[in-house]
Structure 1
Amino acid sequence: MVSQKKPSGAMRNSRGGAVAKRKTRTDRDGDLVMDPTARTRAGGGVSKGGKAGASTGRDKTKGARATTRGADFEKKIISHIGGAPVRTRHAQSKGLEELRVTGHKNSKAASNSDGGMSSLIMWLEKKATMKSKRPVKIKKSRSEGDELIISVPGEDVAHVLRLDGYVFAGTNIKIERASAQDLNPAVSKETTIAMLKGVLARRYDVDSKLLDLSALGVDPDLKAAQIFDSRTTTSKFFPALMKVLDQQFKSPAEKNDAIISVSLANNELTSVSAVTTLAQTLPQLKNLDLSNNAFKDLAAIEAWRRKFPKLDHLIVSGNPLEQAEPEYAVKLLAWYPKLRLLNTVQVRSDQDAESGRRVTDIPFPIRSPNFQDEGQIAENFLRTFFAGYDADRATLAQHYYDEQSEFSLAVNTAAPRDPSTAHETAPQEWDLYIKRSRNLKKITQLPARQSRLCRGAQAIHESWSSLPTTRHPDLATQPQKWLIECQSQPGVPDPTGASPAGVDGFLVTVHGEFDEIDVSTGQVKKTRSFDRTFILGPGGPTGVRVVSDMTTVRAYGGFAAFEPDHNETQVPTEAGVPVLPQGLTPEIAEQMLIELQKQTSMTVQYAKDCLEQVQWDFDRALQAFAAVRANLPADAFVQVA
């Protein structure tokens, strides 16, 4: 935690652009209801110098320039980027059409961890395939509030639209075409798009790279189009705006370079559900202003928790969450590892923000993986297993598995992806895995669970044969891409029956990655991450048999988490690694430290010092804090605006 004097005026951002705070008047409409009386500056609230609202010469210049911002938005982007007129992405994805699916939120599947989205997509593909007599695939999908937007090849659109009104998981669903024209069916598509381009043009500042979407209720074009007069047009407005914005760029790189700051201040947002497409359209944002809205708690912006990996400055002041969740600053810092400024206050040093260090890191050294092997049994098994899985699965199955061995596969579609590839939006294409997935969070019926558990070497090999050809990193030359732990496991079933209570074996957990290989070309099609848990026991041709093999496949998450950052987590003993009383484990001490921070709002260092002074007695630490609280300096506490 870094305590600094709060700067006056606009939120200053040394990395390009700034976002200023604004005021608004509260009204009682929906999620994205704009206050028509709210005020906004023509400059968009981002300046390279000066204070927000100050009447400087530069501000006057900006005010004059604002009157000319009705020029075509595409030309502005061209002048900023340079080069020839841009080729819209719409032309590139000409073969796909977007459809809007609603009503599924009332289905029985809505209680699933993903809101029933994966089940709905599978159902749509299955039913549409029955209609067309050939496979129908949904190429892309995204959630926008209560709607599911799917991208379908043009030749399959009619078959999917025929499912409109069908019953999915106990409820009727509605399917319709999604386009900017939906904002007002009485207005032509071209007119609607031109209106949205005009809004973007007047609210984009080339110099500061800011897209100012604050107080949208006062925008003359939106008022004239009566966008916020009904909930229907309100809910469709922002996705349509983002789609038009996306089409002005020929590549994501140009788009991310042109817009690094966005303001959504003064819009009376109660959650980000109505504007969630901002994260898909501008994933590399550095500055985001959410001030003066109606977010009651952090749950209102939970949908953006793992978004915006490069976020440098966030403003949430003027929202009820400041009072409802006193510890919101600590949570936001954990959500955004590169966040440097919160509500104009620097809460993480430039160096820590650059490295993505969390200010809530616990001052305990990270423990190395625990690998308790005996006679290199587990080590030799791992080296043989993954090489064999890539080269000859049939032989591998006969080598280590018998008729009592069990194998199960689960797909985790919600696992976080590698932050360095957060801008990639290519579909994950789980078709080859989903049919055999035994994810118990999604598969709730006992017969389905039992049918997806493979038992016996032959059944296991058949399951493996249906999965893509793989190539794992070499354990000897690329150990950094693996995280492996091993420990003894008593009570493993004895296949001979000589030991009814079981025998000693090993529990081995493996985290890593693999490439899916195109057999015809030998090229890599996709890289994925996986987690695999083995229980090994005696038996088999080599003396080792796999009793249980549980595998989880997920989107590629990278391997940065496998390597401790010694600069941020490994603290030399002389530098202050806590000396704990006998019987107190580091795990319990860490939890005590976190809880003391939560209850007192003290920084990590002060909370640690407090616990050490009372020999890590938590109740005494609270009493000591209460006794000296009035005398503690300001830098003893987490600083928030």
Structure 2
Amino acid sequence: MVARHTAPRAAPRGPAATRRAAIKADRDGDLTMGLPVKGRAGVGKGTGPPTGPRIDGANKPGRGGILDTLVQRAILRQASGTRDVAMREERAGSARGGLVELRVTGWNKSKASGDADGGVSSLIRWLEKKASSRLGSRVRNVKIKKSQVEGTDLIVKVAPDDAVGLLRMNGFGWAGVNVTVERLGGPVESFSVVSSDAEKTKAMLRGVLERRYDHEAKFLNLSELAQDEELKSQHIFDLKSTASKFFPAMMRVLELSFDKPEERDAAVTSVSLANNDLVDLAAVTTLSQTLPKLQNLDLSNNKFEKLEHLHNWRRRFVNLQHLILTGNPLEQNDSNYHKDVIGWYPNLRQLNGIQVRTDEEIAKKARTTDLPFPIRSPLFKDEGGIAEQFVRIYFAGFDNDRVALASHYYDEQSEFSYAVNTQAPRDPNSTQRSEPGEWESYLKSSRNLKKIQQLPARQARKYRGTQAVADAIAMLPLTRHPDLASEARKWMVEAKMVPGVPDPTGASPGGVDGFLITVHGEFEELNLSGQPSKKRSFDRSFVLGPGGVAGVRIVSDMLTLRSYGGTQAFEPENFDAWTEPSTILPVAEPAVPGLPAGLSIAEAEQTVAQLMQQTGMTLSYAKDCLDQVGWNYLGAVEAFGKVRGSLPAEAFVLPTA
């Protein structure tokens, strides 16, 4: 890791960095996407967005702005329930196919007018190329069939399906001039009628996205949004109610433009949100859900004052390579902010145009932390080796010094419980036999909820606080776990980052990022003389959060004990391939019961965390709220507002004293 003041300077790489020069800074603009004010928002002094087409009727403001509450609700309701019919290509001209005539004007005074043909050939190639570069997987190769020059007009003939793509280029800039594209003989006939305000809104948002999308660079330019003429005409930023719903709605339209998330990730690798007067990420946080594999991100010339204002995207873009934060007050307020930012993004190569990691350093980090121990579980996601170090230290301490272990990892808010599962299947190859009383030393404090029905008994078997946990684990029989290095086949260790872990300092009411670590394995139970007497299997789930003397504390520890069941259930068929880093293939996360189709676990976690932060609800209540509305975020916020007064105190995260 290289500090900024010593790092060698390198030319910015990637579209988000290289295109910065083309984005004029709105240094005294008035856009505040998160907190717009009537009469100010949308009146910035920037030079405006990239030129592009104008949607018919765009200059006619809708009642109360196009994204008033009812329309916004309709957008997301329709978007989540059906495919994006209105976003399909509309056919122009006869349904039976004849060519459609279009007139192109305003081109004759371009920089290409000095060409032998006055720039006509260059113009036609440009029209075909730009009309073919579209968002989504249904990209058409637009072809102009015939063309002729009539005075200052260029008359072109195209297939009906290509006409709409060309007409959307009305107002685009080419070779120093803006060209006009219109149909000869009247408006384009459409066989996909836009019949509702929600569909019109989606069509408008789709137009904004396409005007700002560079197909070749895979770059989506969302800078200076307040200067976009289309958005200004719709009064998007006049009111806080419309501005707060605008970006989530636009991200939803972007999602619906593609059949699969993989296609969306491949089509958009770079995004700029520069010059938007952002004071935090509240208004744009859904970008991390829509484009989780973004590689280049430009946040320059906004109003981020503290590192906390960027926490919503902490560790969210796992593939991020280039990040730009220049022109924010954060640079003056926190001279060491870059150290934290570099730690958030394990694949970050450049920060503000300065190289902070080499490809070799990233490859080495992946080998040493992402694939811990000899165990290569595809569900093991680590950050800085935290999970790996915890597993190594914890089980060694559990076998040798439980009192020291308790003071090292548990605090007064930590909880521990264990349960004996006497019905679990045994290893069919085991020669051990059941013996009377073999669970006698465990059953007194076992918290098996299938057998313990009374609330006082359940509460008595949950241990809270350092001393209580230390006493509980000290009463358990002595153990010896297999060596992690030499007996890797006897372990299955999974880890993933989870949001919403309680913050012991109370600084983050919505919780902080932590780890969920699940361990499956076995141990030998030792007698008083230290000799093995019984082999057991176990499953253990830890929730880790920041804090404690070790920098990591155990929030929750649940242990399940069972008769020895062998390792066949989690041992791969080809162990060598499983443990060899060069042969590991990415494994898709399995579908989770209860989540809508297409919603990944990572996206669900981010949505829950966002709702917790906005409402102050606990993890379980936030998830239940989203379940009830089909994981529609805005619907969950609305539902929360209706029942907030009737929720019990336990539904909310309370700052720790």
Considering the TM-score relative to the shorter chain, is it more than 0.5? no
What range is the shorter-chain TM-score in? 0.3 to 0.5
TM-score of the two chains, using structure 1 as the length reference = 0.43
TM-score of the two chains, using structure 2 as the length reference = 0.42
Which of the pair has more CA radius of gyration? 2
